[in-house]
Amino acid sequence: MIARVEPLTTTRRLSGPFDYRVEGAVEVGALVRMPFGHQKLDGVVVGVAETTDVAPEKLVDVTSVRGDSIPRDLVDLALWMAEEYCSTPARALSLVSPPPGKAKTAFWAEATGVEGRVNASQEALLARLPGPAGGDLAALRRLEKRGLVAISSRVARRAPRTNPAADRLVDLSDAQAAALAAIEAAPGASHLLHGVTGSGKTEVYLRAAAEALERGEGVIALVPEIALTPQTVARFAARFGDTVALLHSALSEGERYDEWRRLRTGEARIAVGPRSAVFAPVSNLGLIVVDEEHDASYKHEGDPRYDARHVAAYRAYQTGARLLAGSATPRPETAHSTKRLVLPTRVAGGRDLPPVRVLDMRGSHHSLHPDTRRALGASRKSIVLLNRRGWSNFLSCKSCGKAWECPNCDVALVLHRAEHALACHHCGHRERVPSRCDVCGSLAVARHGAGTERVEAELRHALDVPVFRLDADTAANKDAVPELLARFAAAPEGLLLGTQMVAKGHDFPDVTLGVVLDADSTLRFPDFRAEERTFALIAQLAGRAGRGPRGGRVLVQTTSPDAPSIVAAAQHDSDGFLKGELERRRAWRYPPFSDLIRVVTSSLDDARPAHAAATRLAQEIVATDTELLGPAPLFRLRNRERFQLVLKTTARAEAIAATGAAVEAAARDRAFKDVNFSVDVDPT
Ligand code: ADP
Ligand code: ZN
Ligand code: ZN
């Protein structure tokens, strides 16, 4: 038999697949090891045939075939991704490949029921059977020889720990029941479940999953970063038990392998995890849930730069599964393209959303508005969001104006006072805090702006409650996050301060105040999604405050009180925001009224090669109904000079194909051997 194999090497771009001979039968998705030139490579069988054009004397055998294999629909999915994201089959296939590892076997002992003379310790041993042999294997083997015990080996599961959640069986509200009925009535359809935090979305996911299991179908439930949203995972686990496989990055290698295998064999039928769980080997897939569908973590920043929401839509289309996305703040494109099911209110017992007040900070030089100060002083538990970490965002000399910048990137260095360092948030460069200006010698170095570290110090000084800071600096250790959140949850009084991490799905019923400092930090972003992000951030924070019987309120400090996102967030007007935002997008021909493709070229130290490559791509990429913007310079990053091209297209497939072909040709051209190319389809 002939196997068409894609080598899994990601260091070189190979024009596979390559034909190999296989003894016996082999299927698409098989993982093989094979000779390749002078080396041995791993590969994936992407096709099988009876004959080949390769000359018989050149045809070689694969070396070995692994026990695990990739399901065929995932091979197809990966090959589609390689095209869709202008990547390579090797990179895309490695995303759907089983994790490294193998099953762990353990010994299991049972008493045979045969009577025999045993001593006291042997009697104790027999009394705890049947059970795992564990450390008593040698003693049990002796009893086995005498026919008193039977020992067998079986696969031992290395099970991830989950936080237990209590499961409550509830009667669905009318809105939930209507949503579930609509989902059930339309196999293969996509729906958007739009409802505020606490409106009962998760309960609908769980019911839809139960219906799928009932039909013998499998389920994938995607959630944002697990450390920040443990509740959803815990509720799936509580309701469905061992049928749930957890696939997240904090698992040990053995746990991850076992969870993958439980799905592959069908022992587990529900995969729950972050974006990469979209590749879970679930057979007969009936439902894909995308919780918090607006969350930025669904976009992968490696190669291929896939968006798990787009991949989920393709996988649902490919397998005929239902797609169910949910959010309190859905993306305008999802609201535009998907049938919306609305859960209009919080479920029985839940409070209405807290009032939101906008505080105008124009002309103020303080990080806290006097009303914010007062409100924080009066509140026992609050959450404060400031989407910027560090102490000051930049330093400058008061005499000569020198600004401290990263030597590798054209960006300002951020002061981190606790570490006595200036740090670059792009490349990680660090240097000592200057005591004087190295240009003019002045001792007057000004610190501008405030990040979480500085506000933490201010709040500790001004208030009498413990302050818990959550940002990329305090969360550098992944285990620290759940621990910090648990301490805040348990504290009778406290203030949780941090970047957007504090606005994710936590449920703290006793929080009565939410504050957004400098809401402009997301609005200032030069990106067509700036309004969408700002609205989502404020609305998500409002969803965190006032969940308990004491209610609550939200304060938003901004210098742009008239921005559409801020006005809409203050009125909890999600529908109004979506409508206005879609009108703005239509006027500017932004997604969903076009698709964007971003190409970045870069070269070390010298801008000329990157510029030349971008210029050539701008000439070569031609597609109908496609507008090309650039090349435009980007700020220098890690000593690389960068240029970007943006394609705005309504002929998506054609534009992707044209971009892929032009970039591939340029990357092979000797003239651009010092240039790196990166393609981002649907950049965020
Ligand atoms: P969301 O996912 O929109 O935040 P959840 O599904 O988590 O909402 O529901 C919020 C809370 O209300 C949960 O504690 C849930 O168990 C409970 N709940 C959900 N649906 C109902 C219902 N129909 N009746 C009573 N309680 C419900
Ligand atoms: Zn100076
Ligand atoms: Zn840098």
- DSSP assignment of 569-591: HHTT-HHHHHHHHHHHHHHHT-T
Domain membership flag for residue 119: no
- Would you say 433 and 394 are in contact if contact means Cβ atoms under 8 Å apart? no
Domain membership flag for residue 309: yes
Domain range enclosing 643: 595-681
The C-alpha atoms of residue 267 and residue 161 are separated, in whole angstroms, by: 18
Residue of minimum CA distance from atom 6 in ligand 1: 200
State both tokens at 110: 């049972």
Q: Name the strand (E) or helix (H) holding 382.
A: strand 381-385
Domain membership flag for residue 351: no
CB 540 near ligand 1, within 6 Å: no
CA 130 to chain centre: 42
Domain membership flag for residue 128: no
Same domain membership, residue 619 and residue 534: no
pLDDT number for residue 393: 86
Residue of minimum CA distance from atom 9 in ligand 1: 200
Q: What percent of the chain has pLDDT over 90?
A: 70
The whole-number average pLDDT for the span 207-226 is 95
Is the pLDDT score of 169 beyond 90? no
CB 232 near ligand 1, within 6 Å: no
The domain boundary, picked from 560, 588, 616, lies at 588
Same domain membership, residue 381 and residue 404: no
Domain membership flag for residue 148: no
Same domain membership, residue 371 and residue 311: no
Tell me the CA–centroid distance for residue 365 and ligand 2, in Å: 23
Is the pLDDT score of 442 beyond 80? yes
Tell me the CA–centroid distance for residue 204 and ligand 1, in Å: 9
pLDDT number for residue 505: 61
Same domain membership, residue 333 and residue 267: yes
State both tokens at 179: 């949503």
Cis peptide before 130 (omega within 30 of 0): yes
The C-alpha atoms of residue 290 and residue 312 are separated, in whole angstroms, by: 8
Same domain membership, residue 335 and residue 224: yes
Is residue 424 marked as binding?
Answer: yes
The C-alpha atoms of residue 313 and residue 327 are separated, in whole angstroms, by: 16
Is the pLDDT score of 348 beyond 70? no
pLDDT number for residue 343: 94
The whole-number average pLDDT for the span 187-199 is 93
Q: What percent of the chain has pLDDT over 70?
A: 98
Same domain membership, residue 549 and residue 497: yes
Pocket test for ligand 1, best of 197, 203, 233, 351 (most atoms within 8 A of CB): 203
Same domain membership, residue 401 and residue 311: no
* DSSP per residue, 610-622: HHHHHHHHHHH--
pLDDT tens column, 602-648: 999 999 999 999 999 999 999 999 999 989 999 999 999 999 999 99
State both tokens at 591: 């997604």
Domain membership flag for residue 228: yes
- Residues with Cβ within 8 Å of 164's Cβ and at least 6 positions away in sequence, in order, are 234, 237, 238
Same domain membership, residue 455 and residue 371: yes
Domain membership flag for residue 648: yes
Residue of minimum CA distance from atom 11 in ligand 1: 198
Domain membership flag for residue 138: no
pLDDT number for residue 601: 97
Same domain membership, residue 471 and residue 335: no
Q: Which ligand sits nearest to residue 171's alpha carbon? A: 1
CATH of the domain at 28: 3.40.1440.60
Is residue 397 marked as binding?
Answer: yes
Q: Which ligand sits nearest to residue 431's alpha carbon? A: 3
Q: Which ligand sits nearest to residue 180's alpha carbon? A: 1
Pocket test for ligand 1, best of 192, 201, 202, 508 (most atoms within 8 A of CB): 202
**What type of residue is 631?**
P
**What type of residue is 242?**
D
The whole-number average pLDDT for the span 254-274 is 95
Number of domains present in the structure of the chain? 5
pLDDT number for residue 606: 95
Tell me the CA–centroid distance for residue 200 and ligand 1, in Å: 4
Same domain membership, residue 622 and residue 509: no
Question: Among 183, 275, 265, 295, which Cα is nearest to 221's?
Answer: 275
Residue of minimum CA distance from atom 19 in ligand 1: 200
CATH of the domain at 599: 3.30.70.600
The domain boundary, picked from 588, 612, 638, lies at 588
Other beta carbons within 10 Å of 259: 27
CB 392 near ligand 1, within 6 Å: no
pLDDT number for residue 121: 87
Is the pLDDT score of 12 beyond 80? no
pLDDT tens column, 467-505: 999 998 888 877 788 889 889 999 999 999 999 888 876
- Would you say 454 and 392 are in contact if contact means Cβ atoms under 8 Å apart? yes
pLDDT tens column, 99-130: 988 888 888 899 888 888 888 888 888 888 88
Q: What is the pTM of this model?
A: 0.91
Is the pLDDT score of 524 beyond 90? no
Atom of ligand 1 nearest to the CA of 172: 23
Tell me the CA–centroid distance for residue 631 and ligand 3, in Å: 23
Same domain membership, residue 360 and residue 325: no
The C-alpha atoms of residue 218 and residue 222 are separated, in whole angstroms, by: 13
Give the three-class secondary structure for 598. strand
Query: Among 87-91, 95-99, 248-252, 532-536, whose mean pLDDT is lowest?
Result: 248-252
Is the pLDDT score of 350 beyond 70? no
The domain boundary, picked from 42, 69, 96, lies at 96
CB 19 near ligand 1, within 6 Å: no
Reported as a pLDDT band with limits 50, 70 and 90, residue 18 is: very high
On average, the pLDDT of the chain sits at 91
The whole-number average pLDDT for the span 248-257 is 87
- Residues with Cβ within 8 Å of 366's Cβ and at least 6 positions away in sequence, in order, are none
Summarize the chain as % helix, strand, coil (round to 5): 35, 25, 40
Q: Which ligand sits nearest to residue 409's alpha carbon? A: 3
CB 168 near ligand 1, within 6 Å: yes
Reported as a pLDDT band with limits 50, 70 and 90, residue 509 is: confident
Same domain membership, residue 552 and residue 508: yes
